[in-house]
């Protein structure tokens, strides 16, 4: 049995209790964000183990190590009435309840908001689903990949002559998780000012991505423009692209504003363009986007990535190397700032992961432990707290309704 008596974090959310009934990424990542900032997370997983435990190669899911960090684990089969009753009793003392099953599923288990608020009026309940709790698609299964397609994100991502492109990581889940995190905090803020009454929050996977597409919608409704794939270019700015270097690496440049563009031209030896009206403004440069890109690309190919960055930094050009993960870990800024941190783990050993963001000066968040390897490490603690006797717990364990480690 793993040691599960570590102290919870001392971040700004210390004292907040959250029950997470989630699967895969969006809902669990909301709880992860809250856990990183000090909230106590009670993660409900099936006694046979969460599906994320089986992702990846080998016996230990590294995805699980990330998603389940800082969480206390209670193994309960919520589909059984006795299991749902355990979760209801845990929710009686919770501040937040996060679930991301298909709409209507938690109601079947008696875990809907109208039922729960009768015993806990201050509860903030957050639903995450593919298409939201309402609408003709609400009952459809939804995952991040489908949201990335449905939201329009994939349609505008990729090369002009290439296919719609999906990210290689669960972007929609991550964006929905950030949205869900601030939604929970907003609801808690409101609760403190309206007599302690909680709220119910509905988040779809596709709407947070849609909200991030900037002027894509208004460009169509007001200008009739359908946004399409443009590679690394943007129809509203230039220079803006990635450029290959002599050593087969890449540099990203974003210098749409006029002053940064002039500094870039100086850095690549084209001072003549800085006094040419045809290149003076972004509007004029957009008329010459192919010429602009070709000129910059030709100069980049003559130099290594390191040489280019040294030169561009001398001229205060808005540019950055396109890093792979090895480059990120070797970068002196990442190292000195502490953007990654090493966490000890009883099975994996010392493991480097991303540090908590954002950073607080007075009450910083902390990664106390990675996702625990045993199911139900904290079942006993919370069932005793909820009033179950030793005999009741043993009976539920033997029946497979709970898992006690």
**Cα 342 to chain center, whole Å?**
20
Beta-carbon contacts of 8 under 8 Å, excluding residues fewer than 6 positions away, are 14, 38, 40, 70, 368
Q: Is 173 a catalytic residue?
A: yes
Tell me the CA end-to-end span of the chain in Å, nearest whole number. 6
Give the whole-angstrom CA distance, residue 401 versus residue 39. Answer: 27
**Cα 53 to chain center, whole Å?**
18
* Catalytic-labelled residue, pool 173, 199, 293, 378: 173
Give yes or no for a contact between 177 and 26, defined as CB atoms under 8 angstroms apart. yes
- Both tokens of 66, joined, read 């990330």
Give the whole-angstrom CA distance, residue 255 versus residue 88. Answer: 54
Neighbouring CB atoms inside 10 A of 399's CB total 13
Residue 307: is it exposed, middle or buried by C-beta count within 10 angstroms (0-12/13-18/19+)?
Answer: middle
Residue 193: is it exposed, middle or buried by C-beta count within 10 angstroms (0-12/13-18/19+)?
Answer: exposed
**Cα 103 to chain center, whole Å?**
22
Give yes or no for a contact between 46 and 70, defined as CB atoms under 8 angstroms apart. no
Which residue bears the tokens 């449905």? 150
**Residue spans of alpha helices (H) in 268-304:** 282-285, 289-300
The beta strands (E) that lie in 106-261 are given as 124-129, 199-204, 240-244, 250-254
Catalytic residues: 173
């Amino acid at each position: 049995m793993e040691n599960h008596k570590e102290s919870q974090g001392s971040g700004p959310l210390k004292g907040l209790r959250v029950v997470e009934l989630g699967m895969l990424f969006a809902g669990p990542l909301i709880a992860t964000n809250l856990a990183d900032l000090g909230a106590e997370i009670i993660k409900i997983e099936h006694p046979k183990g969460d599906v994320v435990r089986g992702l990846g190669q080998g016996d230990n899911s590294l995805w699980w190590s990330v998603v389940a960090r800082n969480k206390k684990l209670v193994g309960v089969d919520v589909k059984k009435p006795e299991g749902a009753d355990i979760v209801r009793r845990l929710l009686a003392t919770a501040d937040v309840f996060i679930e991301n099953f298909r709409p209507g599923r938690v109601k079947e288990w008696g875990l809907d908001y109208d039922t729960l608020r009768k015993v806990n009026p201050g509860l903030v309940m957050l639903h995450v689903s593919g298409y939201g709790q309402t609408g003709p698609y609400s009952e459809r299964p939804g995952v991040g990949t489908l949201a990335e397609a449905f939201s329009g994100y994939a349609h505008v991502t990729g090369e002009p002559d290439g296919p719609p492109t999906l990210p290689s990581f669960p972007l929609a889940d991550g964006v929905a998780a950030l949205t869900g995190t601030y939604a929970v905090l907003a609801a808690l803020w409101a609760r403190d000012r309206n007599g302690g009454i909680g709220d119910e929050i509905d988040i779809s996977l596709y709407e947070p991505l849609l909200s991030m597409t900037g002027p894509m919608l208004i460009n169509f409704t007001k200008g009739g423009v359908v946004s399409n794939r443009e590679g690394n270019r943007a129809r509203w700015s230039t220079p803006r692209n990635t450029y290959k270097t002599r050593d087969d690496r890449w540099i990203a440049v974003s210098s749409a504003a006029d002053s940064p563009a002039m500094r870039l031209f100086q850095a690549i030896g084209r001072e003549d363009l800085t006094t040419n009206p045809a290149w003076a403004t972004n509007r004029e440069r957009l008329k010459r986007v192919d010429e602009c890109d070709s000129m910059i690309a030709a100069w980049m190919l003559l130099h290594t990535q390191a040489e280019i960055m040294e030169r561009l930094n001398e001229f205060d050009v808005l540019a950055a190397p396109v890093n792979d993960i090895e480059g990120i870990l070797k970068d002196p800024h990442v190292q000195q700032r502490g953007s990654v941190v090493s966490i000890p783990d009883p099975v994996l050993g010392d493991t480097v992961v991303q540090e908590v963001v954002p950073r607080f000066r007075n009450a910083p968040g902390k990664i106390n432990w990675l996702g625990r390897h045993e199911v139900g490490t904290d079942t006993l603690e919370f069932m005793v707290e909820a009033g179950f006797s030793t005999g009741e717990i043993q009976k539920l364990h033997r029946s497979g309704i709970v898992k006690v480690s």
